[in-house]
Structure 1
Amino acid sequence: MTAGPYGRPAHRHGGARTSPVRLTAGGTLRTAAATAALAGLGWTLWHGLAEPGTALAFGVLVAVGELARRGARPAAGAPPVPEEPPGREPAPLAAAGALAYALLGESAGRPTTHGVAQTVAVVVAGALVGAVPQVAGGHGAALDHVVRRVLTAGFAALCFQPLYNSGELLRLVGRGPRYALFLLLLLVLTALCDAVITASLLRARTGHPYGALLRAELRALPGIGSAVCATGAVMALAVAVAGLWALPVFCVPLLLTQLSFRRYAAVRDTYRQTIRSLARATEIAGYTPPGHAHRVAALSRAVGRELGLSGPDLTVLEYAALMHDIGQLSLVDPVPEGATARLPEAERRRIALLGGAVVRRTGVPAAVAVVVERQADPYREQPLAARIVRTVNAYDELSREGGRDPDGALHALERLRLGTARDHHPKVVEALAGVLARGGVAGPAPG
């Protein structure tokens, strides 16, 4: 018997299932990366290392970038706080360094001869060294970063090194604007390749819809993605003219950017913990059952991903789900079990409006307050986030009514389907059913 949502048995409605497509996509990419790494390392060991000083410099650069990506662990007992899909934390220094080595044709005016195989060998060695502390600390996702780095750098090197080393590239495009245009096209293709690989790895590891993950990766390209690609290309061109002395000029700003991102991530997580603590006010005051807000928030995020939300939209959804019951603090007498879904519509709307007023005073984005305020509106008039919070909240309340009945979650879902004519959007209910069929989310059982 498998564990269902919130630890309930799930044998009656599918339980936690792993899609064969997920296994195939993730396994294929990892196998391809391992094959490329072994081939690159074997070829390099057999033929010897070309330009050892250059290889060492770029290998150290990739390793330092991966080490700098390592973030602080959450405090003991703290709930998980995923702002972005796992694996989205950028490592610009490592990515730019790997790309620069893949696009390196000269060093201080002297042609390089390292080729595709040595590029892969140096990148995989640096990435593995940088990933050791994370793997040792139990962060299995660190290996996916290695896979991503090896495949992306290998793709760029395969497109550039044979053409450049054979002289065909310079013969066809020369060193003028057409050479810059070729590099720009190659950077775009490499960025797209990286987005596809990253989304596939995340899909294999998390089970989130591939389309939403890919869209999130593509939306990130104009930001940090394009900056990393451009820096990698410029770094390669600078080393071609000035030699390895050009590396520190580019490394220091990238390293500072990476460290600044870590500080931002720490502040972001602290802010989320503050919101979570505020959401517990209704539990401490006895208005809602323990863990209700956190369960609704976690399941709402999963449903939001199922429906294609990502990035800031998911953050708004999570904050609104955490604070959706905060308006109950205005009640003289608590609603039994905090189950507002059975209250008259006018009372539910009053609680929602009071909750939105409280949320507006917390400093969170105004969009969060809008979602909280509109929970009691007819679902056809609600924004998507409000529809999700409304449906997931009702599911959690109905599941609690079932007590320890192993079919309680299934019965709750059936009642939500019956309410799609008036209370719940059919697409949201089916998205919730899809999340539950895959095992739901980890968390304490309702009630």
Structure 2
Amino acid sequence: MADPRNALAFGLFIAVGEAARYGAPPGEREPAPLGAAGALAYALLGESGGQVAGHGVLQTVAVAFAATLAGSAPHGPSADHLARRTLTTGFAAACFQPWYVLGGSYYAALLLLLLVLTGLCDAVLSAVLRGARAAGPFPPLLREELRSLVGIASAVGATGVVIALGAAVAGLWALPVFCVPLLLTQLSFRRYAAVRSTYRQTIASLARATEVAGYTREGHAGRVAELCRAVGRDLGLSGRDLTVLEYAALMHDIGQLSLVDPVPEGATARLPEAEQRRIALLGGAVVRQTGVPSAVAVVVERQADPYREQPLPARIVRAVNAYDDLAGDSGRGGGPLGALERLRLGTARDYHPDVVESLARVLARGGLTPAPAG
């Protein structure tokens, strides 16, 4: 082991950063930013306290692997997370150490280039792992990962480079000094994620009002929201657009609470067009009073319009809602396959062909499971 003092210090730093990911919101792209920054800094460490660091690529990978495993042990190590951390660190070290001898005016440009390449490598690995786990299409997942590079990933990369540069001059004192900004960013993001999770739960509870009142079948809003997210991701939506789609899918039937006579089983897809639009407008009026973004209300209001006049989220909600209504009626809808066939027959005016085919792909990957009959 070359430079055991540096190896131990960076190993402890990575392990503590991994342990700090306890309580991270599910689905967070980078649950351990401190650990990621420490691993990247060790991979890009050319000097420590004015002396050339002697560790090689294999030692860098071994330290990152052992520290990540040790830090993850208290809350259960994840094979995907461990593989992603180890491979990304190894990629950065393998690219950096052979070219470190350039030094001089090329050093800053080299670090900047490696920062970009490492971010791309991490995004590709994350998309591959997510696609293998969820059996989803790779291109939409990769686009979503690349968009996230401007968020926490850029902060992690910049902190890792700054720690490596600081350690070259100040030695191991750079570890506690330069991690403070990222730690504050992590705490702020955790609070934001907690507020967002509570907000989503509140919307989901409000959406269940139609089920509690007997206007829609049990679990309808949740099934539609889950399918809408999958279809939206398949069609390339991400970030804010995917959140708006999910909220609109949860609340798409909220207008039925304004009706005197409930729709049988809540299946609005079988109503006349004028009645569907009236319910959609009533729902949009209710949504606007809940404080959610106005974009959600627009999707709810326009879900019953002809698809050529709809934005993409409204097209998705309309098709997925109709599928769940028809698939849950085995007598008239013909089950999942019959529901899809009826959607395809309605692509001349009611349902966008691309959305219907995307829904078919999503259902094929997850199996054509029918919605419970009313």
The TM-score normalised by the length of structure 1 is 0.80
Aligned residue for 2:358? 431
3-state SS in 1 of match to 2:347: helix
- Work out whether 1:317 is the aligned partner of 2:245: yes
| TM-superposed deviation, 1:414 | 0.8
Change (3 A) 1:263 1:108: same
Query: Do the aligned partners of 1:68 and 1:259 also contact (CA within 8 Å) in 2?
Result: no
- Residue 309 of structure 1 aligns to which amino acid in structure 2? L
Contact 1:396 1:446 in 2 (8 A): no
Residue 206 of structure 2 is aligned to residue 307 of structure 1: no
Aligned-pair distance for 1:269?
Answer: 1.1
The alignment status of 1:63 with 2:15, answered yes or no, reads: yes
RMSD: 2.0
1:188-337 pair list within 5 angstroms: 188-337=116-265
Q: How does 1:334-353 map to 2 (within 5 A)?
A: 334-353=262-281
The Cα shift of 1:201 comes to 1.0
- Per-residue CA deviation, residues 330-353 of structure 1 (Å, 9 max, x unaligned), is 111101111111222222111111
Alpha-carbon displacement from aligned partner over 1:128-183 (angstroms, at most 9, x marks no partner): 112223327xxxxx22111111111111111112333xxx323xxx2x3x321121
Separation in 2, partners of 1:442, 1:126: 42
Structure 2 residue 72 is matched with structure 1 residue 131: yes
User: Counterparts of 2:42 and 2:111 in 1: how far apart (Å)?
Assistant: 14
Deviation by residue 1:303-339 (Cα, 9 ceiling, x = unmatched): 1111111222111111000000001111111011111
Secondary structure of the residue aligned to 1:205 is helix
Once residues 259 and 70 of structure 1 are traced to their aligned partners in structure 2, the CA distance between those partners, rounded to angstroms, is 12
**What does residue 28 of structure 1 align with?**
none
Give the 3-state SS of the residue equivalent to 2:350 in structure 1: coil
- Aligned residue for 1:15? none
Once the two structures are TM-superposed, the CA of residue 356 in structure 1 deviates from its matched residue by 0.7
> How many Å apart are 1:263 and its aligned residue?
2.3
Counterpart AA for 1:340: T
Aligned to 2:76, the other structure's residue is in SS state helix
Determine if contact 1:69/1:89 at 8 Å carries over to the other structure: no
Q: In structure 1, what is the Cα distance between the partners aligned to 2:206 and 2:373?
A: 20
Residue of structure 1 aligned with 2:321, choices 393, 397, 422: 393
The residue type equivalent to 1:151 in the other structure is L
Counterpart code for 2:58: A
The residue number in structure 2 matching 1:354 is 282
Partners of 2:369 and 2:341 in 1: CA distance: 22
CA distance in 2, matches of 1:441, 1:204: 19
Q: In structure 2, which of residues 25, 28, 43 is the aligned counterpart of residue 102 of structure 1?
A: 43
The count of corresponding residues between Structure 1 and Structure 2 is 374
Q: 1:198 Cα shift?
A: 1.1
How far has the Cα of 1:384 moved from its partner?
Answer: 0.8
* Distance in 1, Cα, partners of 2:13 & 2:89: 14
- Aligned AA for 1:354? L
Given candidates 145, 153, 171, the residue that maps to 2:89 is 153
Counterpart of 1:306, as a letter, is D
- Equivalent residue for 2:102? 169
Separation (CA, whole Å) in 2 of partners of 1:386 and 1:125? 48
* C-alpha displacement of 1:223: 2.4
SS of corresponding position for 2:128 = helix
- Distance in 2 between residues matched to 1:262 and 1:442, nearest whole Å: 35
- Partner residue, 1:111: 52
- Shift of residue 442, structure 1, vs aligned partner: 8.4
- Rounded Cα–Cα distance in structure 1 between residues aligned with 2:311 and 2:75: 40
Partner of 1:21: none
- 1:100/1:236 contact within 8 Å kept: yes
CA distance in 2, matches of 1:133, 1:272: 29
Q: Partners of 1:153 and 1:266 in 2: how far apart?
A: 29
Give the Cα–Cα distance (whole angstroms) in 2 for the partners of residues 203 and 323 of structure 1. Answer: 28
Per-residue CA deviation, residues 352-397 of structure 1 (Å, 9 max, x unaligned), is 1111111111111111111000011111110111111101111111
Q: Structure 1 pair 254/72, CA: closer, same or farther in 2 (3 Å)?
A: closer
Aligned-partner SS, 2:179: helix
Residue 446 (structure 1) shift: 4.7
After TM superposition, what 4+ stretches of structure 1 lie above 4 angstroms from structure 2? 440-444
